[in-house]
Structure 1
Amino acid sequence: MARTTIEDLFIHELSDVYSAEKQITKALPRMARAATNPLLADAFKAHLEETQGQIERIDQLVEASGLKLKRMKCVAMEGLVEESKELIDEIEKGAVLDAGLIGAAQKVEHYEIASYGTLIAMAKHLGLKEAVSLLKATLVEEKATDEKLSKIAEQGGNQAATMSS
C-alpha cells in the first residue's frame, strides 16, 4: 500500500510498532533467562508484562479509531532481537553478558521511544485524541524502562563486567 497521506503513514508506523512489540514478547523471556543479575532478570520479566499491556493498548486504539493494521514484520526490531540472540550465544553467562543485554535492551527502548513519539505527533495531526492518550501512556512506560536499565547498569551491572575482564 502506498503511503500518500499522514493517515497511511500512521497506519504503517502503528503496524510496524505492533510487530515490534510482538517480537519483544518473544525475546524478553530469553533475555531474562540469560541474565545473571536478579535485578536485570526481574526488569525483563516486568517489561514483558508491560509490553503485553502495550499491545492491548494498540488493539484498543485500533478498535476505537476504526483503523486496520497491516500484516508486516518490523525489520528494525528483528535486527535488534537478533543482536540480543547473538550476545546470548557468544558470551558466557555472567556480568559481561548482563552488560551486553542491558545495551541491547536499551537499543530496543530507544527505537520504541522514537516510534511512539512519532506516532503521537501523527495522531495529534489526525485529531485522534484517544490514540494520543494511549500512545503517551506507552511512551511513559518505555522511558521508565530505559531509566531502570540505566540504573541497573550504573548500580554495578556494567561495573561487574569490567571487574571480570
Structure 2
Amino acid sequence: MVTNWSNTGNNRIHLKQLLQEELKEVYSAEKQLILGMKKFAEEAISPQIQSTFLGYADDGALQIEKLKMVFSNMDLPAFGKKCKTMEGLLLEAEDRIANFAGNAMLDAALIALVQKIKHYEIAAYGTMHAYAQMMDMDNAAALFNEILCAEKSADQQLTALALNFANRK
C-alpha cells in the first residue's frame, strides 16, 4: 500500500524520528569504518590501494564532523546507535582478509568489500538527504548531499582501481 507524504502533523514527527535513527546509525558506521579503513590499508598489498583506504579513513573523520553539525542543528547530542550493517560488513572483511592473506587477489577482495561498504553509505546518505529535503531541513540536506557525492565519487574511484589495477594482476 502506498501512502501519500504529507509534511504535517504526525508524519513530520515520525519522519524526524526516522531521520534521527538513521543519523545515529550512520554516525556509528562512520566511526567503525575509520578503524576498518586503517586496517584495510595495513593489509593491502599495493601502496596505491593502501593510500586510497587511508584517504577514506580521513574522509570518514570529515564526514563525522559534518554529522555533528547535523546533530547540533537538530538540537541532539552527537552519539551513535551501533550500526549492525557496518559491523557485519567489517566482519565479512575480516574473513576475506584471513582467506586471502598473502594472496595476490587480496587487494581485489578488499576493493570489492569497500565497494559494498560505499554502496551501503550511498543508500544511507541518499535516504537521509531525501528525508531532510522532505522536512525542509536545507542545511542538513546540503551536508548529506556533500557526503553522498563524496561516496559516489569513492565508488567510481574503486571501480577504476579494480578495473585498471587490482584485477589485472
- The answer to whether the superposition gives a TM-score over 0.5 is yes
Where does residue 152 of structure 2 map in the other structure? 143
Please report how far the alpha carbon of residue 65 of structure 1 lies from its aligned counterpart in structure 2 after TM superposition: 2.6
Which residue is 1:62 aligned to? 71
CA distance in 1 between counterparts of 2:113 and 2:80 reads 26
Q: How many residues align?
A: 157
**What are the superposed Cα offsets for residues 90-117 of structure 1, whole Å, 9 maximum, x if unpaired?**
2123431111100000000000000000
5+ residue gaps, structure 2, are 1-12
Does the 8 Å CA contact 2:25/2:81 hold for their aligned counterparts? yes
SS in 2 for 1:95: coil
Map of 1:95 onto structure 2:
104
1:41 aligned to 50, 71, 95, which one? 50
Residue 83 of structure 2 is matched in structure 1 by 74
Quick one: distance in 1 between partners of 2:161 and 2:80?
36
The structure, 1 or 2, with the larger RCO (C-alpha pairs under 8 Å, 6+ apart) is: 1
Change (3 A) 1:81 1:142: same
Unaligned runs of 5+ in 1: 161-165
Counterpart contact for 1:62–1:69, Cα < 8 Å: yes
Say whether the 8 Å CA contact 2:68–2:78 is kept in structure 1: no
Percentage of identical aligned residues = 34
Deviation at 1:61, TM superposition (A): 1.1
Aligned mates of 2:167, 2:81 — CA distance in 1: 36
Q: Which segments of structure 1 move beyond 4 Å, counting only runs of 4 or more?
A: 68-71
* Rounded Cα–Cα distance in structure 2 between residues aligned with 1:150 and 1:69: 33
8 Å contact from structure 1 (residues 88, 97) kept in 2: yes
Q: Give secondary structure in 1 for the equivalent of 2:165.
A: helix
Q: Is the 8 A contact 1:37 1:95 kept in 2?
A: no
Q: In 2 relative to 1, CA 122–50 (structure 1 residues): closer, same or farther, beyond 3 Å?
A: same
